[in-house]
Amino acid sequence: MESYEPKSGLVAMVGVVSAVFLVAVIILLQALYYRAAAKEDLTKAVMVRPEAKAVFAEQMGQLEGYRVVDPQKGVVTIPISRAMELVVAEQGGRP
C-alpha cells in the first residue's frame, strides 16, 4: 500500500495566502463599516430637519420657563435649573 505524503510547502503557502486574504477582507469590511457609521453620524448630527429644531426649541422653552399648567389645582412649572437648586437646598446641600 502506498502512503501519501502531503506537500508541506504547498500547504504552508495556501495557509499563508488564506491568512493574508482573510486579514484583507476584515480590513475592507471594517473600513466599509466605519465609512457607513460616519455617514450616519453626519446625517443625525448635522442634517437636522427644521421641524426637529422647532420641537427642540419648544422643549427647551418648557424646561427653562415658568408657566401655569393647571390654575385650578395651582400647578405650575419652573425652570429646571431652579428646580434642581430647590431640591439640593431641601436636602440640606447633600447630593
Output the pLDDT for position 28.
98
Read off the pLDDT of residues 65-88 as tens digits, 9 standing for 90 and up.
888 888 898 888 889 888 888 888
Same domain, 4 and 35: yes
Same domain, 9 and 21: yes
pLDDT of 6 = 78
Does residue 40 sit in the same domain as residue 62? no
Q: Which residue has the higher pLDDT, 47 or 25?
A: 25
- In whole angstroms, what is the distance from residue 48 CA to residue 67 CA? 28
Q: Residue 84: what residue type?
A: M
Residues 38 and 80 in one domain: no
Query: If pLDDT is split at 50, 70 and 90, which confidence band does 94 have?
Result: low
CB contact at 8 A, 75 and 69: yes
Q: Does 69 share its domain with 43?
A: no
pTM above 0.85, yes or no: no
How many domains would you assign to the chain?
2
Q: Does the pLDDT at position 20 exceed 90?
A: yes
Strand partners, 75: 70
Q: Give the pLDDT score at 26.
A: 98
Helix then strand then coil, % of the chain, to nearest 5: 65, 5, 25
What pLDDT score was predicted for residue 95?
57
What is the domain range of residue 38? 1-47
Rounded CA separation 86/80 (Å): 10
**Structure confidence at residue 12 (pLDDT):** 92
Q: Are 80 and 63 in contact (CB under 8 A)?
A: yes
